[in-house]
Amino acid sequence: MTRIDDTFARLRAEGKKAFVSYIMAGDPDFETSREIVLGLPGAGVDIIELGLPFTDPMADGPTIQLAGQRALANGQTLDRTLQIARDLRVRDDRTPIVLMGYYNPIHSRGVPLFLEQAKAAGIDGLIVVDLPPEEDAELCIPAQKAGLNFIRLATPTTDDRRLPTVLQNTSGFVYYVSITGITGAAAAQATDVGPEVARIKAATNLPVIVGFGIRTPESARAIAEVADGAVVGSAIVSEVAQGRTPAEILAFVKSLADGAHSA
């Protein structure tokens, strides 16, 4: 049982859906992003997705691309990203942290060393969007052996023939991408998402969390009503980009978390 498994078990017992928030590590700078991450559990976040900045984030829209560029320009590295996780663990040993990003920085570090360092920092799971299931031996299987969940993305184009391959080594939860395209590109619609979540849940016992295109407490609630929880990323990162203070950003996050938890 990982922290992610424990979190979903607790939420089920409480009759609540999960709220997952994404924040880019190092955006707009190390100290500000660290302050925001440390405040996320208190704002009602059940699982933290911690973005690892990368120079070529092909699945992300302009909002998160620019966040990564700001972070890299201000000296954010893999080591500094893991430091944020370590700092959170000093005060919070319950909230799961999922490191989300691309394979290149991990490959550059070397998989065995990276997994050792991530586990020691308190990382609970990985979302690596550019490693398909056909490459599971590269990182997914070693990560599972190291005690980290490997979370896979399913999309509107993941048909019934492809779905078993996507699910075969997935653990923790399934991240359903509600729209076709890049992050922040369109609004998620619960009427479209509901049948797709049901289709995925018929093929797995894992929780299904929905992300992309959720920007308001109302949409977080609507999506959480048809899934096991909601993920918000670009809308939060946009608040960072607009120069909001950590307190203002965390208040916005709390409104989203309250929306998802009211489902």
63-86: pLDDT as tens digits? 999 999 999 999 999 999 999 999
Q: Give the per-residue pLDDT at 192.
A: 85
The predicted model scores a pTM of 0.95
Are 9 and 156 spatial neighbours (Cβ–Cβ below 8 Å)? no
Given 6, 29, 35, 49, which residue is catalytic? 49
Q: pLDDT by residue (tens digit) across 216-236? A: 999 999 999 999 999 999 999
Nearest Cα to 183, choosing from 155, 211, 214, 212?
Answer: 212
pLDDT at 258 over 90: yes
pLDDT at 185 over 60: no
Q: Give the per-residue pLDDT at 100.
A: 97
Q: Give the per-residue pLDDT at 180.
A: 59
- Mean pLDDT of all residues in 4-15: 98
Share of the chain above pLDDT 90, in %: 90
Residue predicted with more confidence, 112 or 61: 112
Domains of the chain: 3-261 (3.20.20.70)
Q: Give the per-residue pLDDT at 183.
A: 54
Q: pLDDT by residue (tens digit) across 138-183? A: 999 999 999 999 999 999 999 999 999 999 999 999 999 987 555 5
- The answer to whether 49 is a known catalytic residue is yes
Q: Give the per-residue pLDDT at 58.
A: 82
Are 173 and 206 spatial neighbours (Cβ–Cβ below 8 Å)? yes
pLDDT at 19 over 80: yes
Given 60, 124, 228, 239, which residue is catalytic? 60
